[in-house]
């Protein structure tokens, strides 16, 4: 009992230790994952501010460009008006206009059908460019400005006499910032905004989508991905002038997802390895136990065989001599006990051997064992009734010697369980389909629920001087040699019932 409780405590301790290790590993992994998620969130919040600033700069740049054009258009009209006066007035007007400009500007005039640079401001001409070539450089620069902004004409008498070319001031382009953010992100992300109709429009994303899909299919995939992202993480807003102008939707990276599944995969592999090792160890242990059991049984049968044969010979010699009535009775009792010992030796010899099951009447199989126990009960100092109920025609598939040994052990166990001098043991046989159920019940002290799992373990016994092999032998005979089943129902103070299920000829 103490050994089994120690074993149970060790198993419980190992189980608790395994739970602590698994819990600690999961908690640590979740902490690492949460830190990575927080880093992603901080990165997105930083970039949301970056996008807001870039948007502000882009809008300011556009507003400045519009202001540029209005300013130049106004001064073009002013300059055209000055042309109606003398040349000095025109030069004065030009100098007043151009000196207030802070962005690149080139003014050209048409002379004999060709453009000639009239003036320029805020343009740096490299020192390596000679004076004759500088005119060509300025004309090329004017063409480049025209690709950015439409030149402003200066008309006089319905005829264009000049063109004002101007460039853009340096500004951060919003699209360039978005592209840089997209390139820096290493996890799934979608940037959206609302159009003038209040509909969500996808600005950009980092998802990998097959280019073979049409725009409608791609948009549907992105919308589904965005809905999935919003279920996992709240989108990060991009605010401009106290208004949300964009939303950044995101989810965990592949690395975080793999890291989340890693502990389960690791514990699964370790668990499978431990289970495989434990199964192999159990198989080896059972094989060794079976080998020891079979070897001990056969050796016991062998050791008993020689003295039994000798005793049988001596009894035959005693019978040949003249005997008194008392001596005859003693010889008969000795012969009966000798036959009993011979039966025990026969049982041990069958352990480990190939057993052939026979069709036997259940009553004829059980009755001799019951009668033997009935005769022995008075010698054990008790008065116990053994009741028997069995259909006469019911047959079972069994081996008479081995099953009789199993039933005898069950009956002896029931006798020991009855602590009072009087009690009742009931043996009932009933048919259940193609099986026969043999129930052995007693009104003894019962077995606590915590010990039910140990009942059939070798070495376990509720008795102080028990070897703990009887019920283990019963289970081995029923399960291994008869391919049957055995169960137990017991509770303290309510007795114990063992139920054995054996095959009948109808089951073959």
CATH number of residue 498's parent domain? 3.30.565.10
Query: What does residue 251 show for φ and ψ, rounded to 5 degrees?
Result: -145, 175
Residue 324 lies in a domain: no
Domain check: are 361 and 469 in the same one? yes
CA–CA gap between residue 468 and residue 460 (Å, rounded): 5
> Which residues, 6+ apart, have CB-to-CB distance to 188 below 8 Å?
205, 206, 207, 225, 229, 250, 251, 253
Residue 80 lies in a domain: yes
Q: What is the pTM of this model?
A: 0.45
CA–CA gap between residue 214 and residue 224 (Å, rounded): 16
Domain check: are 30 and 158 in the same one? yes
Name the nearest CA neighbour of 48 among 252, 247, 222: 247
- Last residue of some domain: 252, 283, 305? 252
Domain check: are 122 and 193 in the same one? no
Domain check: are 216 and 160 in the same one? no
Judge contact between 502 and 438, C-beta under 8 A. Answer: yes
CA–CA gap between residue 142 and residue 167 (Å, rounded): 9
Name the nearest CA neighbour of 489 among 419, 417, 420, 439: 439
State which residues form the domain around 247: 185-252
Residue 411 lies in a domain: yes
Domain check: are 160 and 192 in the same one? no
Domain check: are 437 and 470 in the same one? yes
Domain check: are 503 and 358 in the same one? yes
Judge contact between 486 and 435, C-beta under 8 A. Answer: no
| Tokens matching residue 212 | 């073979």
Count of domains observed in the chain: 3
Domain check: are 157 and 199 in the same one? no
Domain check: are 490 and 358 in the same one? yes
| 458 secondary structure, DSSP code | T
Domain check: are 95 and 218 in the same one? no
Name the nearest CA neighbour of 33 among 247, 185, 233, 222: 233
CA angle 103, 107, 112 (to 5 degrees): 165
Residue 2 lies in a domain: no
- Last residue of some domain: 166, 194, 217? 166
pLDDT value of position 173: 55
pLDDT value of position 178: 67
Residue 176 lies in a domain: no
Residue 62 lies in a domain: yes
Domain check: are 83 and 138 in the same one? yes
| Sign (positive or negative) of CA dihedral 280, 282, 283, 288 | positive
CA angle 148, 124, 167 (to 5 degrees): 15
Residue 337 lies in a domain: no
460 vs 244, 292, 303, 463, CA distance in Å?
Answer: 75, 17, 27, 9
Domain check: are 189 and 160 in the same one? no
Residue 191 lies in a domain: yes
Q: Give the chain's largest Cα–Cα span.
A: 177
Checking phi first, is residue 446 left (phi over 0); if not, alpha (psi -120 to 50) or beta? left
Tell me, letter by letter, the H, E, C secondary structure of 168-237: CCCCCCHHHHHHHHHHHCCCCEEEEEECCCCCEEEEEECCCCCCCCCHHHHHHHHHHHHHHHHHHCCCEE
Name the nearest CA neighbour of 174 among 187, 188, 193, 189: 193
pLDDT value of position 14: 77
> Which residues, 6+ apart, have CB-to-CB distance to 53 below 8 Å?
172
Q: Would you write out the chain's pLDDT as a tens digit for each of its 508 residues?
A: 445 456 667 777 777 888 888 888 888 888 888 887 787 777 777 777 767 666 665 555 555 566 667 767 766 776 666 655 554 555 555 565 566 666 788 888 877 777 888 888 777 777 666 666 677 888 888 888 888 788 888 777 777 778 888 776 544 456 666 667 667 777 888 888 877 677 888 877 888 888 888 888 888 888 898 888 888 888 888 887 777 878 888 888 777 778 788 888 878 888 888 888 888 877 777 766 666 566 566 656 655 665 666 677 767 767 766 666 777 777 777 777 777 677 666 666 666 566 788 899 999 999 988 988 888 888 777 888 889 999 988 999 998 888 988 898 899 888 888 888 888 999 999 998 889 999 999 988 888 888 777 787 766 666 655 556 778 888 888 988 888 999 999 888 888 999 999 999 887 7
- Last residue of some domain: 225, 252, 279? 252
Q: In what order do the strands lie in the sheet with 105-111?
A: 114-121, 105-111, 160-166, 152-155
């Amino acid at each position: 009992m103490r050994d089994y409780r120690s074993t149970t405590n060790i198993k419980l301790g190992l189980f608790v230790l395994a739970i602590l290790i698994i819990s600690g590993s999961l908690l640590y992994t979740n902490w690492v994952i949460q830190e990575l998620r927080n880093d992603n969130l901080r990165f997105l919040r930083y970039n949301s501010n970056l996008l807001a600033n870039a948007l502000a700069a882009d809008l300011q740049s556009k507003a400045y460009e519009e202001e540029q054009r209005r300013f130049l258009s106004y001064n073009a009209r002013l300059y055209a008006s000055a042309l109606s006066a003398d040349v000095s007035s025109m030069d004065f007007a030009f100098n007043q206009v151009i000196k207030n400009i802070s962005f690149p500007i080139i003014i050209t005039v048409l002379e004999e059908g060709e453009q000639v640079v009239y003036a320029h401001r805020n343009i740096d001409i490299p020192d390596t460019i000679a004076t004759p070539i500088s005119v060509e450089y300025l004309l090329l620069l004017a063409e480049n400005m025209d690709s950015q902004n439409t030149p402003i004409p200066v008309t006089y008498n319905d005829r264009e006499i000049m063109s004002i070319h101007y460039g853009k001031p340096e500004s951060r382009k919003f699209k360039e910032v978005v592209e840089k953010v997209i390139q820096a992100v290493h996890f799934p992300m979608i940037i959206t905004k609302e159009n003038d109709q209040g509909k969500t429009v996808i600005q950009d994303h980092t998802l990998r989508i097959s280019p073979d899909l049409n725009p409608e299919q791609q948009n549907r995939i992105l919308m589904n991905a965005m809905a999935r992202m919003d279920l996992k993480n709240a989108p990060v807003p991009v605010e401009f002038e106290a208004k949300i102008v964009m939303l950044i939707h995101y989810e965990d990276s592949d690395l975080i997802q793999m890291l989340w599944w890693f502990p389960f995969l690791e514990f699964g592999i370790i668990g499978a390895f431990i289970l495989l090792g434990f199964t192999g160890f159990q198989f080896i242990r059972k094989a060794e136990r079976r080998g020891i059991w079979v070897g001990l049984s056969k050796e016991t049968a062998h050791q008993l065989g020689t003295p039994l044969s000798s005793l049988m010979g001596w009894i035959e010699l005693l019978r040949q001599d003249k005997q008194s009535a008392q001596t005859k009775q003693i010889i008969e009792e000795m012969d009966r006990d000798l036959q009993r010992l011979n039966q025990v030796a026969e049982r041990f010899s069958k352990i480990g051997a190939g057993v052939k099951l026979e069709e036997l009447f259940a009553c004829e199989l059980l009755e001799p064992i019951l009668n033997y126990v009935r005769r022995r009960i008075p010698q054990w100092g008790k008065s116990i009734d053994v009741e028997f109920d069995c259909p006469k025609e019911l047959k079972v598939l069994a081996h008479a010697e081995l099953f009789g040994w199993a039933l005898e052990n069950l009956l002896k166990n029931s006798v020991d369980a009855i602590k009072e001098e009087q009690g009742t043991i009931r043996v009932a046989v009933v048919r259940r389909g193609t099986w026969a159920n043999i129930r052995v019940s007693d009104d003894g002290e019962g077995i606590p629920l915590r010990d039910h799992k140990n009942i059939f373990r070798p070495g376990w016994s509720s008795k102080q001087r028990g070897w703990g092999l009887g019920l283990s032998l019963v289970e081995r005979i029923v399960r291994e040699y008869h391919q049957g089943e055995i169960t137990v129902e017991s509770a303290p103070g309510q007795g114990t019932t063992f139920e054995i299920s054996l095959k009948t000829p109808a089951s073959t």
